[in-house]
Amino acid sequence: MSGGLRRANPVYSFVAPCVAGGLWLVAVLAGLGVGAVTIAPSEVLAVVARIVGLSLAPVAPVQETVLLDIRAPRVMLGIAVGAALAAAGGALQGLFRNPLADPGLIGVSTGAALAAATAIVAGEGLIAALPWLTRGLLIPLAAFAGGLAATWVVYRIARRDGHTDVATLLLAGVAINAIAGAGIGLLIFVSNDQELRDLNFWTLGSLGGATWSRLLPALPFMIAPALGLTLFARRLDALLLGEVEAGHLGFAVERSKRWIVGLAALAVGGAVALAGVIGFIGLVVPHLVRLTLGARHGRVLPYSLVLGSALLIAADLVARTVVLPAELPVGIVTSCIGGPFFLWLLMRRRGLGMG
């Protein structure tokens, strides 16, 4: 028989994992090593070895402090945020059956940012009233609620007869971005100096200011839902055929949809709570994975996790080294990459007559 089903392809079983893992490692080592104080990969290894109880070559205390207190939490935040945004983007694109659904474009990120900003400005009273509620918990929770609300609104508006309309989807995103933008503007207007600085940080997106004490409580909010979304790979594959067809294939469609929307909103909410609005990671990364490895979510989601981390760390490296001694918000860098990429996608779709 010519054709038919073939067995394991070495591209998928060997080459792709090595390339993705290699890119990730390079990005992480560069993120840890490059900056005002240079730290070589061997020194990174030595510090890691010392922490686990082995002693290799000695490392200067300055470098160890910079590595452990400044670079490591920042890279860790980049890993978590990049993975969360890329996984959420990949899953939302599958759910909406539309490759243009990015958490930033369709309003999920700004919805989360508006809620987080509200929590920053108005949250003190709430924290005073409820002693168990800390600031570190309130802002991620608010961002999650905002992201969930925005996702649900967009989903309800753009969906008609079981499928989503691309133009309506993007226009709903424009409207939500405008409304949330106005809300954030209003909050900036009424905020004091400290709040203003925090708010600026949300709207542009930044990995700066990452500390272990802020990072650790929020990490599960990003990592768990991003990993959780990979469990829905088969259901997302079936949803690509349409909701009714996924039902015919024996999937509980409504329940799956609620889980996917909830996990994506949680991942984006967690990312926005710590790093603000960072656009286009969720658009670019799953798209590149699909172009090279195909659309199966069993591949798209895990590779998006890994490569989303790598891309965000690399973008952050650019952001903090390109205008030394100052630092660009990383959201500007990702938009510089993602904006043209988005335009290219639109032109390509028009060229194929799919626009």
Partner 1 sequence: MTLAAHEVSVTRGSAALVKSVSLTVRPGEFVVVIGPNGAGKSTLLHALSGATRPTRGYCHLDGVALADWSPAALARRRSVLPQAPALGFPLTVSEVVALGRSPHAGHADQMSDWRAINTALATASIAHLAERSYPELSGGERQRVHLARVLAQIEREGRDEALGARYMLLDEPTNNLDLSHQQRLVATAAHLAARGDGVLAILHDPNLAAQYADRLVVLADGAVYANGVPESVLTQQIMGEVFDLKTVCLTHPRSGRPYVLPG
Q: Which residues bind partner 1 (CB under 8 A)?
A: 1-6, 94, 97-99, 163, 234, 237-238, 240-242, 244-245, 247-252, 290-291, 294-296, 354
**Pair 90, 304: CB distance under 8 Å:** yes
Which residues on adjacent β-strands are paired with residue 163? 160
What's the CA gap between 230 and 210, in Å, rounded?
27
**In Å, what is the CA distance from 144 to each residue of 62, 151, 266?**
38, 10, 5
For CA atoms 132, 137, 141, 143, the dihedral sign is positive
SS3 334: helix
Q: How far is the CB of 292 from partner 1 (least distance, A)?
A: 10
Count of other CB atoms within 10 angstroms of residue 208: 17
For CA atoms 210, 227, 261, 312, the dihedral sign is positive
Q: How far is the CB of 2 from partner 1 (least distance, A)?
A: 6
What do you get for the CA distance between the two ends of the chain, in Å? Answer: 38
Q: How far is the CB of 344 from partner 1 (least distance, A)?
A: 17
Nearest CA among 185, 194, 184, 186 for reference residue 112: 184
Q: How far is the CB of 302 from partner 1 (least distance, A)?
A: 16
Nearest to partner 1 of 163, 197 (CB atom): 163
What's the CA gap between 107 and 223, in Å, rounded?
21
Which residue, chain included where needed, has tokens 């067995």? 7
Q: How far is the CB of 212 from partner 1 (least distance, A)?
A: 40
Q: How far is the CB of 244 from partner 1 (least distance, A)?
A: 5
Q: Which two tokens stand for residue 58?
A: 């000695």
Decide: residue 141, CB within 10 A, 0-12 exposed, 13-18 middle, 19+ buried: middle
Nearest to partner 1 of 6, 189 (CB atom): 6
Which residues on adjacent β-strands are paired with residue 126? none
Give the 3-state secondary structure of 129-170.
HCCCCCHHHHHHHHHHHHHHHHHHHHHHHHEECCEECHHHHH
Nearest to partner 1 of 217, 242 (CB atom): 242
Nearest to partner 1 of 13, 211 (CB atom): 13
Q: How many residues does the chain have?
A: 355
Nearest to partner 1 of 129, 352 (CB atom): 352
Nearest CA among 145, 301, 286 for reference residue 229: 301
Q: How far is the CB of 198 from partner 1 (least distance, A)?
A: 39
Q: How far is the CB of 165 from partner 1 (least distance, A)?
A: 12
Q: How far is the CB of 94 from partner 1 (least distance, A)?
A: 8
**In Å, what is the CA distance from 316 to each residue of 28, 205, 219?**
11, 10, 18
